Amino acid sequence: MLDFLISLFNNENYLNLIGMVIVAVSSYLLAKYSASKPNKLKIKQVQLELVYLPLYRLFEKIPKNPDISVIESAQNEIEGILNSNYVLILPQLHKLNESLKQRLVDGQKYNETFNIMRHQVDVEYEILKKTLGYPSETFRNIYIHMTYKQKCSYFVSWINATWFLTPLLLAPLFFRFFDGRYFIIFVIIVYLVLVPIINKLNSSIKNMND
């Protein structure tokens, strides 16, 4: 298979065409990421102001072991904030709110779900402050308090944003120590391997328990 690919790239015109396509695709992905970053920061600012700061202040006023009347009142306030800012909220928080509401209706134990919500709001609040440059906890402290799913999501978010740069970063090594045509083969293999792996990682993390 490798010999077959090498034989295809013996044609210099074909090799140049493939190289131009790779550079164009990588440049497009990089430009797209750079252009979307200001908008993402704007969304995070709105998330902080309209969602996570109000929720953080709400949870801050609630004792560690509240009775059911306090939980019911808090759940009504939480639902109001979530419904008013639906698209700004992480899906797991909506799921936790629905679970808490159902547990209160059914008379089931609600403390664990409520405490998970409190914990997630605390962590997301600190992450947003850190991302936007506000005074916040050190990253080490934030990381320690993340759930396993939050830790995985954080690192995969960096992979999602930068994986397409991997071939370009390794290009100088290939052109110094190997024939340039091997770089084209390497890039194709990397993209063919990385894309399914990254998609699988994203899917697995999405399906993790909170």
Looking at the 3D structure of the chain, how many domains does it have?
1
pLDDT in tens, 113-137: 898 899 889 988 988 998 898 888 7
Single pTM value for the model? 0.61
3-class SS at 107?
Answer: coil
- The domain containing residue 30 runs over which residues? 2-206
Candidate from 3-17, 73-87, 188-202 with smallest mean pLDDT: 3-17
Nearest CA to 23 among 160, 195, 197, 183?
Answer: 183
pLDDT in tens, 122-180: 988 988 998 898 888 777 777 777 777 777 777 776 666 666 666 666 666 666 666 65
Give CA 30 to chain center in angstroms: 17
Give CA 58 to chain center in angstroms: 25
- The rounded distance, in Å, linking the Cα atoms of 206 and 210 is 9
Q: Which residue has the tokens 């899906």?
A: 91
Supply φ then ψ for residue 73, to 5 degrees: -65, -45
- Using the predicted structure, report yes or no on whether residue 43 has a pLDDT greater than 70: yes
Average pLDDT, rounded, for the chain:
77
pLDDT score of 97: 92
Which residues, 6 or more positions from 156, have their beta carbon under 8 angstroms from its beta carbon?
198, 201, 202, 205
